[in-house]
Amino acid sequence: MTYTRVGPLLIAVVAFALYSSQDAAAKILSLHYPLSMILAGNAGFALLPIGWMAWRSGGWSALRTKRPALHGARALLVLLNISLAFTSYRLLPLTNAYAIAFSAPFFITIGSTLFLGEPVGWRRWSAIVVGFVGVLIALRPDGAALELGALTAISAALTYSMSSLLMRHMRLTETRDATIFYPTAFIFVVASLYAGQDWLTLRAADLPVFALCGLCNGVAQICFATALRSAPAASVAPFQYTQMLWGTLYGIALFGDVPGRSVVLGGVIVIGSGLYVFHREAVRGSSALTSPAA
């Protein structure tokens, strides 16, 4: 079992756990503050770990870019994604929003084959399908498939997939720090302009929640970008399903959503599918006769 194969997947697991913490904090904040304030605070605090990491990696040289247009396109996608995602958390229970957003691994896997030319074998396809079935069993999204919240969540999944694929593509010419710094800075500037118009008095007790939301986002971006630069997108994508477990825990602790037997069964399936991908990457990494499409 080689670190070069499984290391990025472990980092991806950490990234998705941090993203879930961000999402729970954003849902709490959405009860009292407009989206523009949440986005501005989130991006502002996220820039602290991202900026620190860029400084450690060489300062401005780590942010040098050869593809400014791609950074602009990704910045717009990330802004759309996080706006749609945070809106869906306000309109839906966190677990329901996750159930719909977990269509993203399908989109990423398809896109990695069509647009990035990364081979995806039947084993990884099977793990993705099984993991998604586990999510549906656990979360049982209701029949309100065409409600605004559900449409917002599926749109968030699409924009997330597109931005992830673009990040994977940009690794060829751009540094990790550049791919996450510019979208975050863009969101901070744009959201701050709107936050000035929508401003509500900030309660002192909510400042730590804003800080937690943004810091988790910043560290999660660093981890996710690191994983995505080192492993195929289709290998990283299934680990998004682990957010279902965190969403369930946060649902219990913060929002009073008590899971039933279906959540336990679905959780076992999700964990199993993720572990299978993890195992396959380890086998591929240790085999001298590895097939890139395994």
4 pLDDT higher than 60: no
Identify whether 293 is part of a domain. no
User: How much is the pLDDT for 115?
Assistant: 86
Identify whether 213 is part of a domain. yes
Poorest-pLDDT segment among 24-38, 122-136, 214-228: 122-136
90 pLDDT higher than 90: no
The mean per-residue pLDDT over the stretch 152-172 comes to 91
Secondary structure of the chain in the HEC alphabet? CCHHHHHHHHHHHHHHHHHHHHHHHHHHHCCCCCHHHHHHHHHHHHHHHHHHHHHHCCHHHHHCCCCHHHHHHHHHHHHHHHHHHHHHHHHCCHHHHHHHHCCHHHHHHHHHHHCCCCCCCHHHHHHHHHHHHHHHHHHCCCCCCCCHHHHHHHHHHHHHHHHHHHHHHHCCCCCHHHHHHHHHHHHHHHHHHHHHHHCCCCCHHHHHHHHHHHHHHHHHHHHHHHHHHHCCHHHHHHHHHHHHHHHHHHHHHHHCCCCCHHHHHHHHHHHHHHHHHHHHHHHHHHCCCCCCCC
Number of domains in the chain: 1
Identify whether 274 is part of a domain. yes
Identify whether 291 is part of a domain. no
For residues 71 and 285, the model is more confident at 71
Identify whether 77 is part of a domain. yes
Identify whether 23 is part of a domain. yes
294 pLDDT higher than 70: no
User: How much is the pLDDT for 280?
Assistant: 67
Q: What integer best gives the mean pLDDT of the chain?
A: 84
For residues 254 and 146, the model is more confident at 254
Q: 61 is in which domain, residue-wise?
A: 3-286
Poorest-pLDDT segment among 8-12, 111-115, 121-125, 266-270: 266-270
User: How much is the pLDDT for 290?
Assistant: 35
The mean per-residue pLDDT over the stretch 101-130 comes to 81
78 pLDDT higher than 60: yes
User: How much is the pLDDT for 124?
Assistant: 76
Identify whether 91 is part of a domain. yes
For residues 61 and 109, the model is more confident at 61
pLDDT digits (tens, 9 = 90+) for 241-268: 788 788 888 988 898 877 667 766 776 7
207 pLDDT higher than 50: yes
Identify whether 292 is part of a domain. no
